[in-house]
Chains A and B, each alone.
Chain A
Amino acid sequence: MTTMTELPAKHPPGGTAAGGGRNSTGRTPGRRRRPSGALAGWLSVAPALVVILGFTFYPMVQSMLLSTDHWNLLGPRTFVGAENYSAILGAGTFRTSLLNTLVFTVITIAGTYVLALATAMAANRELASARFVRTVTVLPAVIPMVVAGLVWKWLYEPDHGLINTLIGLFGADGARWLFDNDLALPAVAVVSVWKEFGIYALILLGGLQRIPDEIYEAATIDRAGPWRQFRSITLPMLRPAGAAVFLLLLFNSFKVFDQVWVMTEGGPGTATLTVVTFIYTRLLTDVGVASAASVVLFVILLAITLVRLKLTSREES
């Protein structure tokens, strides 16, 4: 059997393992393939493959199978077909959680993107203060979300919280924040924006630093103002980094759980109930319903990702 160490000696000078010594069919004469090379390849990817199959693919398939069963973990599993899907899509609670998740996603993506871009542009300067901005904006990201949620819960406290105390200094009455059906979801979204925008600012900063200075210099010579430069140079050339930020924000927003659970547990009523919170509350009592909701969430994210990839490839071509 051929070994890896024997291969180079059989290749013509300048040839490669892939192309050297092959006939018109692309195969090595007298041999169908080089098993040692294939085996080495499989062995090198095997650890990652095992992890992906075991911890991603298998749970996904299991979740899809469970979504067609009625099961409370203790009793027997009963096949119910699409009943769990019709139950959640027909029930107001899941639809509310889906709508809440969409609203949360829109607020978070818009807020985080604008703040991250502004911060990245402020930090993309040769100033001493830029380094300070880079450091300070990343600080919230190192705080665990549960801790951040608890701190903000106290800040939002209607009677003695810092926010309403500050509002009170101006003679106005503060809102009930997390206890107000209309304000609770935006209030939770603000925490996500505050905590995460620094990380996304770093990604956008990397994108900004890849834009050659010469383009701005040429635009300045052509008398393009700052706004025109931003619109016609910065934004288009930031698109790859922007696309990455968008997808990351989208996934993280759809998966929001920690801060919601710590701050409101989905309340008041269902005002902050998100899809993952919905799944969590049903996980141990109705595994089928929780799995069906997980599959719906997966399909939504997959669809959005595919659309985004299609658009990106179209833009690139």
Chain B
Amino acid sequence: MAPLRRRLAALSLASAFALAASACASGGGSAESAEGPTTVKFWSMPYWIGQDAKVKELVDQFNASQSKVKVELTLLEWKDGRDKIKQAIAAGKGPDVWLMNNGLELDYLKSGALAPLDKLGYTKADTDKYLPLAKVDDHDGKTYGAPLYFDVDVMLYRTDILQQFGFSAPPKTWDELKSTAAAITTKSAEAGKKVSGWQFKGMDDHLNAVNSTWESFLCQAGGSLTSPDFKTSTQNTEAGRTAMDYMKSFYTDKVSPTGTSALNGFISGDVAMFPFFQSVIANVQAGGDKVAGKWAVAPMPAGPKSGCSMVGGHSLVASSASKNLTGAGTFMRWLASPERSAQYMDFHAIFPYDLAKVDPAVKDTVDGKVKADPNWNAIFEQLGRNTPDLLLQDRHAFQARWDAQKANVVAGVNGQAPVDKALKTIDETVGQALGKE
């Protein structure tokens, strides 16, 4: 028996040492190599709608163009990609470079998990080329994200439906939007085929979208998400009530139906107008003949204070724990370069650089794309109305606000909770989270 016991003990110890050894050997980040190209681990989601293979194609292009840096791509899915990255970073086994929402996440910034761009080989001349909106990636005086592209909330409208009911141009103000939408809903019902004049994205099958929709309308009413010091939630204000009352009126007046898909309805001709990030154009175009030549983009109808809207999009970030910051920076400057970002416009992504500061050849490319598609004019007009403020506020207590708005904006707008109570609950919930920061 004794030999068996000894064998078992030895086996246990060997297993433990093997586990410990493997754990020690697989530390985070990729090491600099004395010989051959260094390896950069890049984890990404397919960041353009309907272009799942494009990221791999770009990484292959980069690898073919380089002899010193080799990128290993891990493609993740949107449904859990961000969770996997965070878990991997927490475990010290994360990537060197990955994709993050513009505005960046405060948890990463405060924990020092991200490397500032100046540690990645970016110069001031490099970062000065970005639009002022790129300040959404700043924190404590440093820039941590290299924007690949921006998204902005715009309005999509069916040109054929508006013309059918006597409107030659899209609405430009809240009042015009309400009257145009109401007229379409009423007249179409009288004609026997009801078309909803307007649907708020997020009050449909895309619940998460209510966050960007709400923040756009709050902004247009002159509201903000937090106080300037980011310590207090400021939605239960006159601006908040104005925005929510306005949105609610579409449902109480039966102009918009709760639940009808804004996107599907737009494609099928059951919804005349809806707001969302311009990247949704790819989904609209997937409607094929049903929508071909029958739609256009317009800036958001201006509210009582402004025509601003929510900003989105993605940036590249690098891990401060990476052992290959030089290689990571080389790859980031290539993938998020003006040359590449100009290509991304083919996927309806907004060019993040100041056209006056980029290479003339790149400027010509961008100008050519804008000329070829007049919708870019409306998108760039909307971009010019937006500031980094909303996204910088949104960074604080992000998850609490995301959940609280989803729950309370929907309830307030569909009339199942009083507007004051809905806004007060958002402020209380977000306020608690801000207090913990």
Q: Please encode chain A, from 263 to 276, with 1 for each CB lying within 8 Å of some chain B CB and 0 for all others.
A: 01111111001000
B-side contacts of A273, CB under 8 Å:
407
Q: In the bound complex, do residue A285 and residue B407 qualify as a contact, i.e. CB atoms below 8 Å apart?
A: no
Q: In the bound complex, do residue B108 and residue A74 qualify as a contact, i.e. CB atoms below 8 Å apart?
A: yes
Q: In the bound complex, do residue A267 and residue B86 qualify as a contact, i.e. CB atoms below 8 Å apart?
A: no
Q: In the bound complex, do residue B208 and residue A181 qualify as a contact, i.e. CB atoms below 8 Å apart?
A: no
Q: In the bound complex, do residue A176 and residue B407 qualify as a contact, i.e. CB atoms below 8 Å apart?
A: no
A-side contacts of B207, CB under 8 Å:
264-265, 267-268
Q: Please encode chain B, from 384 to 419, with 1 for each CB lying within 8 Å of some chain A CB and 0 for all others.
A: 000000000000000100011011101100101100
B-side contacts of A87, CB under 8 Å:
432
Q: In the bound complex, do residue A159 and residue B108 qualify as a contact, i.e. CB atoms below 8 Å apart?
A: no
A-side contacts of B51, CB under 8 Å:
none
A-side contacts of B5, CB under 8 Å:
39
- Segment 91-144 of B: residues with Cβ below 8 Å from A: 107-108, 110-111, 113
Q: In the bound complex, do residue A269 and residue B408 qualify as a contact, i.e. CB atoms below 8 Å apart?
A: yes
Q: Is A195 an interface residue when CB atoms closer than 8 A count as contact?
A: no
Q: Considering the chains assembled together, what is the distance between the CA atoms of A92 and B205 in angstroms?
A: 24
Q: Is B2 an interface residue when CB atoms closer than 8 A count as contact?
A: yes
Q: Considering the chains assembled together, what is the distance between the CA atoms of A269 and B405 in angstroms?
A: 8
Q: Considering the chains assembled together, what is the distance between the CA atoms of A35 and B2 in angstroms?
A: 11
Shortest Cβ distance from residue B76 to the other chain A in the assembled complex, whole angstroms: 14
Q: Is A286 an interface residue when CB atoms closer than 8 A count as contact?
A: yes
Stretch from B151-159, B163-171, B254-262, B365-373 forming part of the interface with A: B254-262
Q: Is A70 an interface residue when CB atoms closer than 8 A count as contact?
A: yes
Q: Is B265 an interface residue when CB atoms closer than 8 A count as contact?
A: yes
- Segment 252-275 of B: residues with Cβ below 8 Å from A: 257-261, 265, 270
Q: Is A162 an interface residue when CB atoms closer than 8 A count as contact?
A: no
Q: In the bound complex, do residue A181 and residue B416 qualify as a contact, i.e. CB atoms below 8 Å apart?
A: yes
Q: Is B89 an interface residue when CB atoms closer than 8 A count as contact?
A: yes
Q: Is A281 an interface residue when CB atoms closer than 8 A count as contact?
A: yes
Q: Is B64 an interface residue when CB atoms closer than 8 A count as contact?
A: no
Q: Please encode chain A, from 155 to 168, with 1 for each CB lying within 8 Å of some chain B CB and 0 for all others.
A: 00111000000000
Shortest Cβ distance from residue B263 to the other chain A in the assembled complex, whole angstroms: 13
A-side contacts of B229, CB under 8 Å:
none
Q: In the bound complex, do residue A179 and residue B258 qualify as a contact, i.e. CB atoms below 8 Å apart?
A: yes
Given known contacts A179-B258, A267-B410, A268-B207, A286 and B399 CB-to-CB distance under 8 angstroms: yes
Contact partner, A1, options B1, B108, B407, B414, Cβ 8 Å: B1
Q: In the bound complex, do residue A73 and residue B2 qualify as a contact, i.e. CB atoms below 8 Å apart?
A: no
B-side contacts of A52, CB under 8 Å:
none
Q: In the bound complex, do residue B107 and residue A269 qualify as a contact, i.e. CB atoms below 8 Å apart?
A: no
B-side contacts of A178, CB under 8 Å:
259
B-side contacts of A285, CB under 8 Å:
107, 399
Q: Considering the chains assembled together, what is the distance between the CA atoms of A268 and B259 in angstroms?
A: 10
B-side contacts of A264, CB under 8 Å:
207
Q: Considering the chains assembled together, what is the distance between the CA atoms of A190 and B406 in angstroms?
A: 24
For A179, the closest partner residue in chain B by CB is B259
Q: Is A93 an interface residue when CB atoms closer than 8 A count as contact?
A: yes
Given known contacts A73-B87, A267-B407, A159 and B416 CB-to-CB distance under 8 angstroms: no
Q: In the bound complex, do residue A74 and residue B89 qualify as a contact, i.e. CB atoms below 8 Å apart?
A: yes
Count A-B contacts at CB 8 Å.
92
Contact partner, B406, options A39, A73, A181, A269, Cβ 8 Å: A269
| Interface residue tally for chain A (C-beta within 8 Å) | 37
Q: Is B49 an interface residue when CB atoms closer than 8 A count as contact?
A: no
Q: In the bound complex, do residue A269 and residue B416 qualify as a contact, i.e. CB atoms below 8 Å apart?
A: yes
Given known contacts A1-B2, A158-B259, A74 and B416 CB-to-CB distance under 8 angstroms: no
Q: In the bound complex, do residue B107 and residue A74 qualify as a contact, i.e. CB atoms below 8 Å apart?
A: yes
Q: In the bound complex, do residue B270 and residue A73 qualify as a contact, i.e. CB atoms below 8 Å apart?
A: no
Q: Please encode chain B, from 47 to 87, with 1 for each CB lying within 8 Å of some chain A CB and 0 for all others.
A: 00000000000000000000000000000000000010011
Q: Is B286 an interface residue when CB atoms closer than 8 A count as contact?
A: no
Contact partner, B414, options A3, A75, A181, A265, Cβ 8 Å: A181
Contact partner, B86, options A1, A91, A159, A284, Cβ 8 Å: A284
Contact partner, A74, options B86, B261, B410, B411, Cβ 8 Å: B86
A-side contacts of B407, CB under 8 Å:
93, 266-267, 269-270, 273
For A161, the closest partner residue in chain B by CB is B259
Shortest Cβ distance from residue A151 to the other chain B in the assembled complex, whole angstroms: 15
Q: Is B232 an interface residue when CB atoms closer than 8 A count as contact?
A: no
B-side contacts of A177, CB under 8 Å:
259
B-side contacts of A267, CB under 8 Å:
207, 406-407, 410
Q: In the bound complex, do residue B406 and residue A159 qualify as a contact, i.e. CB atoms below 8 Å apart?
A: no
For A90, the closest partner residue in chain B by CB is B432
Q: In the bound complex, do residue A75 and residue B260 qualify as a contact, i.e. CB atoms below 8 Å apart?
A: no
Q: In the bound complex, do residue A73 and residue B258 qualify as a contact, i.e. CB atoms below 8 Å apart?
A: no
Q: Is A239 an interface residue when CB atoms closer than 8 A count as contact?
A: no
Q: In the bound complex, do residue A268 and residue B403 qualify as a contact, i.e. CB atoms below 8 Å apart?
A: no
Q: In the bound complex, do residue B260 and residue A93 qualify as a contact, i.e. CB atoms below 8 Å apart?
A: no
Contact partner, B90, options A3, A74, A181, Cβ 8 Å: A74
- Segment 138-160 of A: residues with Cβ below 8 Å from B: 157-159
A-side contacts of B205, CB under 8 Å:
157
Q: In the bound complex, do residue A265 and residue B2 qualify as a contact, i.e. CB atoms below 8 Å apart?
A: no
Shortest Cβ distance from residue B96 to the other chain A in the assembled complex, whole angstroms: 16
Q: Is A312 an interface residue when CB atoms closer than 8 A count as contact?
A: no
Q: Considering the chains assembled together, what is the distance between the CA atoms of A106 and B83 in angstroms?
A: 33
B-side contacts of A27, CB under 8 Å:
none
Q: In the bound complex, do residue A3 and residue B258 qualify as a contact, i.e. CB atoms below 8 Å apart?
A: no
Given A1-B1, A158-B259, A286-B399, 17 extra CB contacts under 8 A: A39-B5, A70-B436, A74-B89, A74-B90, A74-B110, A74-B113, A75-B110, A93-B404, A157-B261, A159-B257, A159-B261, A181-B416, A264-B207, A269-B410, A269-B416, A270-B407, A285-B399
For this complex, 26 residue pairs linking A to B, each with C-beta atoms less than 8 Å apart, are A1-B2, A39-B1, A70-B436, A72-B107, A72-B111, A75-B111, A91-B429, A92-B429, A93-B407, A157-B205, A157-B261, A159-B257, A179-B204, A181-B411, A181-B416, A267-B407, A268-B207, A268-B411, A269-B411, A269-B417, A273-B407, A282-B399, A284-B86, A284-B87, A285-B107, A285-B399
- B interface with A by C-beta (< 8 Å): 1-2, 5, 83, 86-87, 89-90, 107-108, 110-111, 113, 204-205, 207-208, 257-261, 265, 270, 399, 403-404, 406-408, 410-411, 414, 416-417, 425, 429, 432, 436
Instruction: State the 7 A-B residue pairs at the shortest beta-carbon distance, nearest first.
Output: A179-B259, A74-B111, A73-B90, A269-B411, A285-B399, A158-B259, A75-B111
